[in-house]
A and B are shown apart, each in its own frame.
Chain A
């Protein structure tokens, strides 16, 4: 079983739609949680960190449920430029900075 599981999609949505991605992680000792964005044939880039209290950055809202070992990302009012692969990423305890990636969820926003 993968340590971080994501639905690979693809999610095909029209512009303006709201879309939600989910991710589960198996290691209860996981310490930090992130969503990264990766455009086609580009490097991953940090989108946002995820906190238990939930956090919002513009149209993006991330949520962490430690009890269920579940992370979510909500994108409101989707734009064409949101089309990308969204990677759920965790770190283990010990703060080494080593990132554990999910396989990614592909989003395609259509006009």
Chain B
């Protein structure tokens, strides 16, 4: 069975540009989470989808970040315009219902804003 896949694995963009990260969860997993690790800091929660609905977006840093999950399958996280402090590793994780079950992580997208 395919795991959680993220694309791209690496992205280097200039400040002010737009970047879109994609996450394909494990098939049948209603729960999809985005997390981010900024260098030197802990992994931090960004938001949680249940199917196509945003359950919790309390971790989104600001309105330059937009997450979508159309149709309740894959998700995208767009950063527009990107700032230097957005650099880090963005992880996606998915889990089947109920939410107590183990979350499986993708390998992450390493974003560098220069």
Contacts and interface: CB of A to CB of B under 8 A. Distances in A.
B53 to A, nearest CB: 13
A68 interface: no
Contacts of B107: 42-43
Contacts of A32: 100
Interface of B: 4, 31, 33, 35, 41-45, 48, 55-56, 91, 93, 95, 98-103, 105-108
B7 to A, nearest CB: 14
Given A32-B100, A44-B105, A98 B42 contact: no
Chain B CB within 10 A, most for which of A42, A95, A101, A102: A101
Nearest to A44: B105
B43 A44 contact: yes
Interface of A: 2, 4, 32, 42-46, 87, 95-104
Contacts of B33: 97-99
17 contacts: A43-B106, A43-B107, A44-B105, A46-B103, A95-B100, A97-B33, A97-B48, A97-B95, A97-B99, A97-B101, A97-B103, A98-B33, A99-B35, A99-B43, A99-B45, A101-B35, A102-B42
B105 A45 contact: yes
Contacts of A87: 43
B42 A96 contact: no
Contacts of A2: 42
B91 A4 contact: no
Contacts of A96: 48, 55-56, 99
A79 to B, nearest CB: 23
